[in-house]
A and B are shown apart, each in its own frame.
Chain A
Amino acid sequence: MKTFAYGIHLDKYCKGATEGKPIKEIPPPKRVILPLQMNLGCPCDPLVKVGDEVAEGQKIADSSKFISAPIHASISGKVVKIEKLPNPCGFDVDAVVIEGQEETSHQSQVTSKKLVEEQAPEEIRKIVREAGIVGMGGAAFPTHVKITPPKDKKIDTIIINGCECEPYITADHRIMLERAEDIVFGARAIAKACGAQRIIIGIEDNKKDAAGKLKKLEIQILKTKYPQGGEKQLIKAILNREVPSGGLPLDIGVVVQNVGTCVAIAEAIKFGAPLIKRVVTVTGSGVKEPQNLIVRIGTTFEEVIAQSGGLTEDAAKLIMGGPMMGLALSSLDVPVVKATTCILVLNRKDAKIYEEQNCIRCGRCIKACPIGLLPNFLADFSKLKDWDKAEEYHVADCIECGCCSYVCPSRIYLVQYFKVAKKELQTRKAVCR
C-alpha cells in the first residue's frame, strides 16, 4: 500500500465515537461573531457598520489583496458591534457581531448565478473567491489563490485530500460518505480552473467505505499513518513527487484540495451559496454527546457544545482542531471559524500535563519526522537562540505536524521550538529586506 517515508503510527485514533454518526445541522444561533480574518494571508476590511441590517449570505467584509477571502453574514440580523473579541485563529483583528432578528426572512445571495461545470476557469475562480472559500482542512488558505496557477506552471494533477489523518476528527469521513456527488462536482471544477487532466482522491485504508462512494474519481487507498493528510506527504505517497524545499505543490504540477473544500465549491457554483456553514466534529472524552454537526460560521463554541449535550464534569482541555496540531483554547467564548474542523474536549484523564526532561538522544524524533529533519538538534539551536544554525538545519521545512513531540520520551515540546525559530527567521528576513 502506498504511503510516505517516516511518520508515526498512533496508539489510537479515537474516531469510533463519531464516525458512524450522520452530519446533523444545528439551528442558526441568535448571535454570531465573525472575525475579520479567517484565512491565511491578509485580513478583510468591514463593509458594514454598527447598526446596519444584514441578510444571510451578504458580504460583510472584503479585501483588495489577492491572498485573502471575503466574509459573509452567516445569519440575518443587525450588526451590533465591530471590535476586538477573542478568536481562535490567532489573528489580531476586529470581529463583526451580528444579532439575529426574529422576523427577518430575506435570503438575498451575493452570487446567485447557477452555473454549469462547463464554465470558464476565470469564472470558477471568481465564484470561489466571491464565496469566500478557504481550505476547509484546517489551514484556511484562500482557495481561489490555490486554483490560480501562474502562467509558467502547468498543473497536471489535482489531488483531493480525503485522508483526515488527525485522530478524533471524522468530519471529512462523513462528508465523503454523504456528499460524494458534490465532492466529484467540486473536484472537476478545480481541475477545470487549473487546466488539469487527472483527479486523484487519496483515502486512508481505515475509511474504505468512503472510497466505495467516490468511484467516479480515481481512488488511491493509502496506509493509515500520520501525517498522511499533510500536503507534501500526500503528494509523495500518491505521485512519488516531492515539493521542492521552500516551494509549493504548484512547482511540481499538483494542486491539493480537501474534500470539504470541494463541497463548498460545488455549493457556490450550483447555488451561489457563500461559505457560511461548515461541518465540525464535536468530540472527545469531555463532551457528553459527540457528533458531526453543520454549524454556521461565527457560532460560539459554547452554543455548539450546548447542542452536543454539554461538557462532562471533568472536562479539562478545549482544543480547536485535532489533538496533534490543534490549538488549546482557554474558554468557550470564541466563534467557530472557517478553519474549525473539530472541537475537541478532553477530560482530566486524557488531558495529561507533561514536563520536559533532558533529551536522551534516542533518535525517535528523527525516525518520526516525515521531512527528514533532526528535531533534537533543532530544539537545542532554538533554545540557544542560534537561528543561523537552525536555518542551516532546515527548520523552515518543518511542517509542524507534531510527530517528533508525540514520540519524544523526554516529553520535549519540540515542534513549539521550531515554530518559534521559524517565526524568528521570518521576522529577520522581513527586517533585512
Chain B
Amino acid sequence: MPIEKFDLSVSPHIRAKDDAQSIMWWFAFSLVFPSVGAVYFFGFKALILIVVTTLSAVASEAAFQWFAKKPITISDGSAAVTGILLALIVPSTLPLWMAVIGATVAVVLVKGFFGGMGFNIFNPALAARAILLASWPVAMTFWVRPFDAVTTATPLYLVNKLHQAVPNYLDLFIGNRAGSLGETSILMILIAAAFLFWKKIIDWPAPTAYIGSVAFFTLLLGHDPIFSVLSGGLMFGAFFMATDYVTCPVTTKGRFVFGLGCGILTVLIRYFGGFPEGVNYSILIMNMMTPIIDKYAWPKLYGGKKNG
C-alpha cells in the first residue's frame, strides 16, 4: 500500500463549488454593468471616482489589518466591493479626497471596528454615504445632468418637492437623468441583477418586497408608482444593498420582511420627510432591525413543533 496514513476530517468530504471569495468577486463583476453605465453618462470622471474609492477601500483595509495585527484579507474581495459600491452611490462631482475618506470610513469604521467581514451591523458603503452626506451636504447633493454636466436637481426632487411633471419613463429607464453614478441606469442595474440571480448569489425576497412595497404605497398615496420605482436609488438599493448578506436577515421570510420595511420607510421619507430620497436611511434603519427579524423569522421546522 502506498499510503499508511490518510487525511482525517469530519464529513462532508465534498463541498459545493462556490466559496465566499468567488461569490464576492462575482458580485464585484456584476457591478461592472452599472459602472459602464456611469462612465457612459457621466464621463471619464466617473471611472476615476470608481478606481479611487476601490483602491482606497482595499488599501485602508490592508493598512487597518496590518495595524491591528490581523490576517490581511483583501483578496476576499469584500473591500473592493465596498469601494465600487460607494463610488456608485455618490455624485460624479464629488471631490476625490472626500471619496477617499468615505471609502476609508466604510472599510475601517463601519466594518473593521466591528470585527471585520461578517460582523458589521451596517452596510459599509451606505453607512459611509450617510456620513459623507452629514459631513459635506452640499458636495453630496451637487447633481449634474449626464453628458453636458449642467447643474440640476434629481428627478425625485423636481417632481416630489417642486411638483414638476414626471420625466419620460424611457429616459429614466436608460439612465439619462441626474443622480448618483450607478443608480441612474435602471437598465444596467437590471442586467447586473439578472446576472446575480443567475449565479444564485442574490435571492428574490428582499428586492421584490422592497420594490413592490414602494410601488404599492406610492400608489396608495396617489402618486405615480412607475416613476417611484424608476427614480432615485431604489433599484440600486433593492438589488445591491438590501441583498447584502452580512447586514440583512438570513431567512427567506426575514428577507421579505426586511424588504417590506425598507419599502415603507422609503415611501415615508420620500413623501413626508425632509429629504427627496430615503433609500439610504431606510436600509440603514432596517440593518438595525436585522437581529430582531432574525430572531423571529424562522423557517418551518420539520416535524410540526411550534417555532420561535
Contacts and interface: CB of A to CB of B under 8 A. Distances in A.
A351 B11 contact: no
A246 B303 CA distance: 8
B12 A353 contact: no
B19 A245 contact: no
Instruction: With a 10 A CB-CB cut-off, give which of B1, B18, B251 has the most chain A CB atoms.
Output: B1
Interface residues of A, number: 73
A366 B301 CA distance: 11
A117 to B, nearest CB: 34
Given A245-B305, A360-B117, A352 B15 contact: yes
B163 interface: no
Contact of A407 (B3, B16, B252): B16
A41 B203 CA distance: 44
B69 interface: no
B150 interface: no
Contact of B1 (A8, A311, A325): A311
Question: Binding site of A, secondary structure by majority: helix, strand, loop or mixed?
Answer: loop
A299 B260 CA distance: 61
Contacts of A354: 15
Given A245-B304, A361-B250, A406 B7 contact: no
B15 A374 contact: no
Contacts of B251: 363, 366, 374
Contacts of B245: 360-363
Contact of B299 (A167, A366, A405): A366
Contact of B23 (A11, A362, A372, A376): A362
B249 to A, nearest CB: 8
B198 interface: no
B10 interface: yes
A200 interface: no
A331 interface: yes
Question: Binding site of B, secondary structure by majority: helix, strand, loop or mixed?
Answer: loop
Contacts of B118: 358-361, 410
Instruction: With a 10 A CB-CB cut-off, give which of B1, B3, B245, B300 has the most chain A CB atoms.
Output: B3
Contact of A372 (B4, B248, B294, B299): B299
B246 interface: yes
A324 B14 contact: yes
Contacts of A243: 302-303
A408 B12 CA distance: 11
Interface in A76-98: none
B302 A371 contact: yes
Interface in A270-317: 302, 305, 310-313, 315-317
A195 interface: no
Contacts of B252: 363, 366-367
A212 interface: no
A15 interface: no
B298 A397 contact: no
Interface in A365-423: 366-367, 369-374, 376-377, 394, 397, 402, 405-411, 413, 415-416, 419
A317 B9 CA distance: 9
Given A311-B3, A315-B2, A328 B13 contact: yes
8 contacts: A6-B299, A232-B302, A246-B303, A317-B13, A319-B13, A360-B23, A371-B302, A377-B294
Interface of B: 1-20, 22-23, 76, 116-119, 203, 245-246, 248, 250-252, 255, 294, 298-305
Interface of A: 5-6, 8, 10-11, 167, 232, 236, 242-247, 302, 305, 310-313, 315-319, 323-332, 344, 346, 350-354, 357-363, 366-367, 369-374, 376-377, 394, 397, 402, 405-411, 413, 415-416, 419
